[in-house]
Amino acid sequence: MLLGYAENGSHTWHFYGLAADYGDVRFEPGLEPISFYDALRDAAVGEGLVSGSDWSMRDRPHVQWGRPMRAAPSVHAAQLLAMGGYEAVWREVQAL
């Protein structure tokens, strides 16, 4: 997994099951045409998700849960995960 600007995987929403990076197997990773990412963005936003294509530091393959969330998981998210598992975190961000 590419971590980008995160210190480690637990500092991303990927770790909490609330984000994913997408690609097209017909291309080398990161070499998909812009039209692929434009379609991914449109589909994600259409489903109420957030697209990394819309960020000032673009992360075109990235899609994440769309409710208002911090840019990165907090200590509180880690505590919820430790105490109640993924479902506790998902309830907190209204993903269940």
Computed on alpha carbons and rounded to an integer, the radius of gyration of the chain in Å comes to 14
pLDDT above 70 covers a percentage of the chain that reads 94
Domain boundaries, the chain: 1-17+68-96, 19-64
- Give the pair of three-digit tokens for residue 41: 């963005």
Residue 30: pLDDT band with limits 50, 70, 90: confident
What pLDDT was estimated at residue 1?
41
Mean pLDDT of 70-76: 87
Give CA–CA dist 78/13, Å, rounded: 11
Q: What pTM value is reported for the model?
A: 0.84
Q: Are 66 and 49 in contact (CB under 8 A)?
A: yes
Of residues 40, 9, 6, 4, the one with CA closest to residue 23 = 40
Look at residues 63, 60, 29 and name the one whose alpha carbon lies nearest to residue 48. Answer: 63
